[in-house]
Amino acid sequence: MNRRTVFFRHLGYVFYMLGDFVAGSFLFIYRGGDILYSFICLKYRLSRLHQHRFHAFQAVLAGLE
């Protein structure tokens, strides 16, 4: 695995975590500060979407190697 692939993989992790944070923030504001509800929504409603997107991202990286 070369240096460029490692860099893009780390960049992908950062964007992946940033997406979780943004989604959680929007849910937090939308529910008027109900942090427990936003946390539950983030983990259960969006987890499958994120998992699918993350696996697709990993497949792209595997193609680059």
pLDDT of res. 11? 74
pLDDT value at 5 more than 70? yes
Domain ranges of the chain: 3-64
C-beta pairs of 39-44 under 8 Å, 24+ apart in sequence: none
> How far is the C-alpha of 7 from the C-alpha of 36, rounded, in Å?
34
pLDDT value at 65 more than 60? no
- For 34-43, the pLDDT digits (tens) are 666 666 666 6
Does pTM top 0.75 for this prediction?
A: no
pLDDT value at 15 more than 70? yes
Q: What are the structure tokens assigned to 60, written together?
A: 């792209």
